[in-house]
Amino acid sequence: MKKRNDLQKGFSILEVVVMIGILGLIGVIATGVFFTTLRSSTRSRVSENLKQKGDFALNVIEKMVRGASFLPDLSANCDGSDKSSISVVSRDGFTTTFDCSSDRIASVSAQQETVVLLGDITRIDCDRFVSCVIGSGGSPEVIIDFTLYQGGDPELPYEKSSINFHTQVTPRNY
């Protein structure tokens, strides 16, 4: 048997293997944390982008409805039935129609110009886009409701998001 000399320096093979195992375990844990953070960052970015686009469209529609002098689609039947479009006559007499389909929300102005408020979204659920009810004061209240879906690759669920937008507007000049 070989006698160990106190002056020998270095690590035994067992110490090296244990150290490599510990470093490998730390690497696996750090990689998992990194990818989890990256995925939640992507989901947050997708959701924030979707929210900004939906808020923009909702604010444009809400502002036009609130300032409308006349709502031809809802004047005859303010019964709570759902519609996929709403026409708004502004105080200057021009008509703008907001239309919701499965892939966009657009407005058509008096000059027949179509402006797409939301168009690069994967899917828009607007089955209950616009409805009208009579409020407590006897004036009509317009309910605007739609859901936006942003989907990436089906195998990457962290790139998917959906947000519902809902508001109730009472026209001021009605």
pLDDT tens digit sequence for 130-168: 888 887 777 788 899 998 888 666 567 777 788 899 999
Return the percentage of the chain with pLDDT > 70, whole number: 83
> H/E/C letters for each residue in 48-108?
HHHHHHHHHHHHHHHHHHHCCCECHHHHCCCCCCCECEEEEECCCCCEEEEEECCCCEEEE
Confidence of residue 39 (pLDDT cuts 50, 70, 90): confident
169 in Cβ contact with 145 (< 8 Å): no
pLDDT above 70: residue 37: yes
71 in Cβ contact with 65 (< 8 Å): yes
